[in-house]
Amino acid sequence: MMNTVFETRRTLVRQWRFDDLRAYYALRSNPLVMKYIGELFKDIKQAEEALLSKTILDYSKYGYGRYAVVLKKSGDIIGNTGPLYLADLGKNDLAISLFPQYWGLGYGTEILSGCVRYVFEQLTLPDLIGLVDPLNVASSKLLMKIGMTYSGQITYHNEICDLYSLTKQDWSNRPVHRTFKSIESSD
């Protein structure tokens, strides 16, 4: 079973599975991918522990979490996206990370737009935030492109982050979100 949570024109977004461990490790141990995100996985055992004790566990704990992004055409995993519940903030952080060969090709906008639709229409969450390293200009631009608003800076886990936010109400009032088709729509 695929456990697809939503799809975009070119991708399927589904739950991570244990048999995705090598792709999960490759993504989270890639220095370009992780440059602004956090610590690189040192070995596959560390990736296995994170995949099982955090990523997959979040699906049963919260009903959602970070998901694998899969190319429809090839079935290859190209990244990670989704809302992550940050219990210490009581908010859901929207993020995306893609292998570098998929940067600059419109995947970020396509996937995050679909993810916002999923969060607000299917999960019915009231709002989203995005925490971004202030040096990560590309991610900041991407969050603004999908309708998030810069809300200042916060310190999170001893790191200064730019904070972006989007409410379901603000998203619903923006005509731009209607240009992205949900899984139920036909092309």
Output the CA–CA distances (angstroms, integers) from residue 82 to 6, 26, 36, 123, in the order listed: 10, 18, 17, 11
Residue 78: closest CA among 41, 23, 118: 23
- Band (181; pLDDT cuts 50, 70, 90): very low
Distance from C-alpha of 103 to C-alpha of 186, rounded to nearest angstrom: 26
- Band (179; pLDDT cuts 50, 70, 90): very low
Give yes or no for residue 96 having a pLDDT over 50. Answer: yes
Give yes or no for residue 178 having a pLDDT over 90. Answer: no
- The pLDDT of residue 84 is 96
- The pLDDT of residue 38 is 87
Give yes or no for residue 108 having a pLDDT over 50. Answer: yes
- Name the more confident of 175 and 115: 115
Kindly report, residue by residue over 113-136, the tens digit of the pLDDT: 999 999 999 999 999 999 999 999
Domain locations along the chain: 4-125
pLDDT mean over 141-166: 96
**What is the third-level CATH fold of 4-125?**
Aminopeptidase (3.40.630)
Q: Which residue intervals of the chain are DSSP H helices?
A: 21-28, 31-34, 44-50, 56-62, 107-117, 137-145, 168-172
DSSP letter, residue 63:
S
Distance from C-alpha of 12 to C-alpha of 47, rounded to nearest angstrom: 22
Distance from C-alpha of 125 to C-alpha of 49, rounded to nearest angstrom: 28
pLDDT mean over 13-36: 96
Output the average pLDDT for the chain. Answer: 92
Place of tokens 């709002």: 127
Amino acid sitting at position 178: R
pLDDT mean over 97-115: 97
Distance from C-alpha of 126 to C-alpha of 13, rounded to nearest angstrom: 21
pLDDT mean over 16-41: 95
Kindly report, residue by residue over 36-57, the tens digit of the pLDDT: 998 899 999 999 999 999 999 9
| Three-class secondary structure assignment of 112-124 | HHHHHHHHHHHCC
- The pLDDT of residue 3 is 85
pLDDT mean over 97-120: 96
- Band (2; pLDDT cuts 50, 70, 90): low
